[in-house]
Amino acid sequence: MHTSARQPARLRHTLSAAVGLMLAGIATVPAHAETIRDRQWHLDAMHAEEMWEATTGRGITVAVIDSGVDKNVADLRGQVQDGMDLSGLKGNEHTDQAGHGTGMAALIAATGARGQTNGSHGLAPGTKILPIKMPYATGGFGTESSGRRYSESLAKAIRFAADSEAKVINISMGSANTPGKKNVGTSELTAAVKYAIGKGKLIFAAVGNSGNLTNAIEYPAATPGVVGVAGVDQKAKPLENSQFGPQVDLAAPGKEIVRACPEGTQICGGTGSSPATALASASAALIWSQHPNWTNNQVLRVLMQTASGNDKGLSRDDVVGYGVIRPRIALTTPGDPGPADKYPIPDFAYENAKSPSSKASEASGPMGGAGQSTAAPAASNDESSATGLWIAAAIGAAVVLGAAIAIAALRNRHRTRAASAIAAVPPQYGGHQPYYAQGPIAPRSHDLAQPTHITDRNEYGGT
């Protein structure tokens, strides 16, 4: 999230026919040769196997605040710790009635243990998962009381994660304030985030999937100190429904993302800012594993500096924030991680300057530590870019990309604006779709659009 005055959109988000980019032609993988790993296009685009030669995220724990994580899914066996259950439902944090939390955990830490054909991999397979189960949707959607209950549960979950050994906190969900109220983006939630950052944690949250509808600001992505993550497709174009605004800090792959899940075939696919957030969290885990002495601030700063479009210095817009993450670049040429004790996104400093006597200061400690350590929210509905392209690869003739991306209705970057200025959101999940939007798929090539694979050795069309 960002609070400075709006900057012009960068060139990478205004592609024109005059600035065409030659792309390699797309060829599909023969169905008989296809594996689940083949369908995880995001791993190829992010050069996962090259990164794994240096680090798999070992030594890092990621807290997943979601619908629970099923530790019995084959690709997650041995990866999931005991955590916390705030749901009040039958079972515990390892019971996932929705399947969403398990899918997000798999995108981070799945090991492919299910086998060469059906195994799925997380971006940081050496990490461990700390599951924190939130209340699941049963009724009262969109009401003032349900929004407040969500916020209260989320604040508890964040504080629990802050007091754990987890360094990264993944929240692939969000909810908007009831119009005219501040029942979700509460001071208690802000204090919990501040507490976690003071304990040296990094928090990533999905910005939501109503960008083509209400675009209502959702929390915790809009909470100062949280890294709001948007989704992009195989060509680094923003997803049509990915939300935009001052809460967007980074972007990551979110289109047709295949991963393990509890249902049926144990393989699911989906599109949205949920999987994008999980991949951002996994990227941070990889960097932190390679640089264990860095603070949360330094890990985040390197993620920002190495994102697409920042070769000549940081710049941002309201669609992809500081750019599309490039963890391989962050690992190979991280640059200067900067000061250990300064949070790199201005919104947190702005919030502290505005309310220096916040209740959170009682327990938070110095900001930027070493990082040692009912109502349901929306699971961000699992379901531009001249310098930021996921280049589709394989065999075939080159084609010219000249699609123009218009960035409209960009908002004032102060997150303190009243939610009542935003159109009223639908009465369910604050603009997100429910958990079940992610769907199980069979391991066959015709179930999803054929994934594409990147061949350019410097992702996003960089030089």
* Residues with catalytic roles: 66, 100, 274
Pairing of strands 267-270, 257-260: antiparallel
> Do residues 325 and 236 make contact, with C-beta atoms less than 8 angstroms apart?
no
**Which token pair is 70?**
């099923």
Residues in the chain, overall count:
463
Residue partners of 408: CB distance under 8 A and separation at least 6: none
> Do residues 202 and 296 make contact, with C-beta atoms less than 8 angstroms apart?
yes
Tokens 């392209």 map to which residue?
Answer: 389
Q: How far apart are CA 107 and CA 105, in angstroms?
A: 5
Q: Which residue type is seen at 14?
A: T
Q: How far apart are CA 124 and CA 99, in angstroms?
A: 20
Beginning with the edge strand found earlier in the chain, give each strand of the sheet holding 257-260 in spatial order. Answer: 257-260, 267-270, 439-440
Q: How far apart are CA 139 and CA 428, in angstroms?
A: 9
Q: Which residue type is seen at 231?
A: G
- Rounded to 5 degrees, φ, ψ at 248 are -85, 120
Tokens 């059906």 map to which residue?
Answer: 118
Tokens 């605004």 map to which residue?
Answer: 245
Tokens 């309201």 map to which residue?
Answer: 318
Residue 213 to residues 63, 120, 273, 283, 419, Cα–Cα distance (Å)? 30, 33, 15, 30, 15
Mapped onto helix, strand or coil, the DSSP state of residue 176 is strand
Round the CA-based radius of gyration of the chain to a whole number and report it.
20
| Type and span of the H or E element at 442 | none
